[in-house]
Amino acid sequence: MKLDDMRVHYDRDELRREDLCGDPFEQFAVWMQEACASDLVEPNAMSLATAGVDGQPTQRTVLLKSFDERGFVFYTNLESRKARQISENANVSLLFPWLALHRQVVVAGVAERVPTSEALAYFVTRPFGSQIGAWASPQSRVVSARALLEMKWEEAKRKFQEGLVPMPSFWGGFRVVPRAIEFWQGRGHRLHDRFLYTRLEEESWKIERLAP
Catalytic residues: 190
Answer whether 136's CB lies under 8 Å from 149's CB. Answer: yes
CA 130, 135, 141 angle in degrees (round to 5)?
105
N- to C-terminal Cα separation, the chain: 28
How far apart are the C-alpha atoms of 172 and 87, rounded to whole Å?
Answer: 13
How distant is the alpha carbon of residue 124 from its chain centre?
A: 20
**E strand intervals along 52-139:** 57-63, 66-68, 71-77, 91-98, 103-113
Strand partners, 193: 185
The closest of 40, 84, 77 to 62, measured between CA atoms, is 77
What one-letter code names the amino acid at 187? R
Selection from 165, 160, 64, 181 nearest residue 114 by Cα? 64
Distance, CA of 48 to CA of 100 (rounded, Å): 20
